[in-house]
Structure 1
């Protein structure tokens, strides 16, 4: 077993559970669509969290040769993945009777979820640098981060519903867009 396999056996499980939390929230919302107002905000937030977790999974795979198997690595991973699980857990309500309007739920919980996602990304970037990687390789990746941070901060504090939908849509679209442009050879 390689060091990466040892470390990632635990964290792959937790990342999978985090994705299951988000997908379960989507499923429950769809099941209750006649009883609750779903809106755009919480589903877009759920998509953002799912895509961010998936992108972290890919980053972790790309770093498999650099990840040492020791307690510090496990603690650092636990910090990031534990935070991902927490934000995935609160992306959708667990008692929809208390939250019949998911837009209201979004505005009540967005700072925790978005702030947690941004914190995970920043900790991961610091860890990548500490492991000797260059996390912002390529112009598209740098542009993506220049969009990500201000858009997340704006979505955390802007009170306008339409502005939040637009910000979340931009954030969600960039996740498949940047890797696709990189794959086809576009250099920002």
Structure 2
């Protein structure tokens, strides 16, 4: 077993748990839709985060080309994956006794969710830098930093219109990257 395969098992487990948590939460949301209305902001972030998790799990495979694994790089990858998992738990708390008003959940956890969103982008920068590809392609750093800026704005505003737009934008960018841009860069 290679070092990558060994590490990929743990990363896959953490990201897989995140995906399972989102799917469980969406299932609960659908099943309890008559008791608790589906909130558009929460729903959009759920779908966007699902796509981001799947995309990042796919992109993680680039690490199979890494020949020299340091503990710092390993730890950064694990922290990166854990942040994504924590985002799913903040979006869909695992305590089944909690109020399931999804709009209220998002508002109460918005700072944590967006803080983790910002942290996930900063960890992506760290992981990319440790891999020696921070400026390859040259637009990578400004692209990721614009997500950080949008997250900071989201922390400062409670505007539903902003949060609908922000979640929609992340979903759109993730799908566009997955199905079009990624193919052009290969």
SS of 2:36's equivalent in the other structure is coil
TM-score (structure 1 length as normaliser): 0.84
Q: Deviations over 1:89-115 (max 9, x none)?
A: 121233566424211111111221121
Bigger Cα displacement from structure 2, 27-36 vs 46-55: 46-55
Q: Deviations over 1:113-166 (max 9, x none)?
A: 121122122112212212212365165x56643542222222222111122111
Note if contact 1:42-1:92 (Cα within 8 Å) is conserved in structure 2: no
Note if contact 2:73-2:127 (Cα within 8 Å) is conserved in structure 1: no
Q: Does 1:158 align with 2:157?
A: yes
How many residue pairs match? The answer is: 185
Note if contact 2:51-2:174 (Cα within 8 Å) is conserved in structure 1: yes
- Counterpart residue number, 2:171: 172
Instruction: Please give the alpha-carbon distance, in whole angstroms, between the structure 2 residues aligned to 1:45 and 1:144.
Output: 19
Instruction: Please give the alpha-carbon distance, in whole angstroms, between the structure 2 residues aligned to 1:9 and 1:93.
Output: 25
- Counterpart residue number, 1:137: 137
Matches within 5 A, 1:60-75: 60-66=60-66, 68-69=68-69, 71-75=71-75
Which ranges in structure 1 are unaligned for 5 or more consecutive residues?
none
Bigger Cα displacement from structure 2, 42-51 vs 128-137: 128-137
* Residues 42/135 of structure 1: CA separation in 2 closer, same or farther (3 Å cut): farther
In the TM superposition, what is the alpha-carbon distance from 1:53 to its structure 2 partner?
Answer: 1.9
**RMSD between aligned alpha carbons?**
2.4
* Residues 10/56 of structure 1: CA separation in 2 closer, same or farther (3 Å cut): same
Instruction: Please give the alpha-carbon distance, in whole angstroms, between the structure 2 residues aligned to 1:67 and 1:111.
Output: 38
SS of 1:63's equivalent in the other structure is helix
* Residues 135/44 of structure 1: CA separation in 2 closer, same or farther (3 Å cut): farther
* Residues 8/100 of structure 1: CA separation in 2 closer, same or farther (3 Å cut): closer
- Counterpart residue number, 2:4: 4
